[in-house]
Structure 1
């Protein structure tokens, strides 16, 4: 399986992490269940279903820090990649139990940011749990924060995410943002035992919404829907309907972003 880059954007944090992971591999990675053929290095889809022309970068005050499990960057269905496509302030680090990237510790120590570990509150001591972003009232987009929110997302399967949370003591000093999604997950690319388990991109969109980043949140959600549409269409060898509802929704948000 080969890859070709047909997009003009420079590699983002998740793309760079994936490249580094592939360089360490001793054998080629073959995506299980994915379509055969040449893939685009910009979106990981086969070329006939590429979405690189639809990538929409939305400047944000908020940042996203992805702690990624060992194989997540290699999975074409990974949605942390989509966050980095949309949110320019996205960092991605590999997680390991015995080592910590110095750049990660530097980011967490940067005084411009207020880190939040995004994790279900039911598994955390109550005194650490928050449900809102400090200094930002719900549905208020123009609030000025003394520090910028940095959402730490554990990009992994649920068992892996629990291990990352428990075995990362450098996260213990930060508040835990526990989100309460109002709707069930629309993510259809991997199976989950519970419909209320959201994918990483869905969680990021909710966090951005809590921070008042409405356009970024809506764009990321729409971008996930388009990515899912293209991914499944490629898998089922179906042509893309560029005028359907999910594409129109994203195009409307792209037009809104272009107007500033």
Structure 2
């Protein structure tokens, strides 16, 4: 049963991510009641529509705000998430100036990822699903709502690593 999120989650997925069996953007979309998944590298303002109104981009930057500081009425109604590698996400921002102009938010409390089936340079680099759940927890000021989803994801990762002895 999908998690009933209050803040709308718009997941913009790079086409290279969609074919992976470990597609956490798709998994996130299927796990949230109030979300949309769009696949592409470039998006027209019409395709993003009203989602850009009162939206923030979950992406680090020079002018990012900390999520915990956003309270009503500053609290956004939409969280935009880029599901891509860091290199591809930078390209997506370059190709979509309407996204690059959005206020950026970042996680205030870095966590250790349970996403062990894909290598990361740093332990605090999270999967799309993990980063989005932590962001929604902070935006909605409800840490308990997304914990079952994060726990299920961790269990799923535990199961997947049993098939790959190099990841145990």
- Normalising by the smaller structure, the TM-score range is 0.7 to 0.9
User: What is the distance in 2 between the residues matched to 1:214 and 1:201?
Assistant: 15
Secondary structure of 2:114 counterpart: coil
> Could you say which structure has the greater relative contact order, defined with CA pairs below 8 angstroms and 6 or more residues apart?
2
Measured in 2, the distance between the counterparts of 1:63 and 1:133 equals 17
CA offsets 1:200-228 (integer angstroms, 9 cap, x no match): 01111111111213233212211211221
Instruction: Give the corresponding residue for 1:253.
Output: none
Distance in 1 between residues matched to 2:19 and 2:9, nearest whole Å: 19
Runs of 5+ unmatched residues, structure 2: none
Structure 2 partner of 1:81:
26
The number of residues matched between the two structures is: 164
What's 1:69 paired with? 14
Paired position in structure 2 for 1:213: 142
Determine if the alignment matches structure 1 residue 119 to structure 2 residue 59.
yes
TM-score, normalised to structure 1, is: 0.56
TM-superposed CA distance for 1:145, in Å, is 5.3
TM-score (norm 2): 0.83
Q: Distance in 1 between matches of 2:75 and 2:110?
A: 27
The corresponding residue for 1:162 is: 90
CA RMSD of aligned residues (A): 2.4
Gaps of 5+ in 1: 1-55, 137-143, 238-260
Cα distance in structure 2, aligned partners of 1:183 and 1:207: 11
1:1-260 map, 5 Å: 56-97=1-42, 99-100=43-44, 102-109=46-53, 114-121=54-61, 124=62, 126=63, 129-132=64-67, 136=71, 149-211=77-139, 212-233=141-162, 235-236=163-164
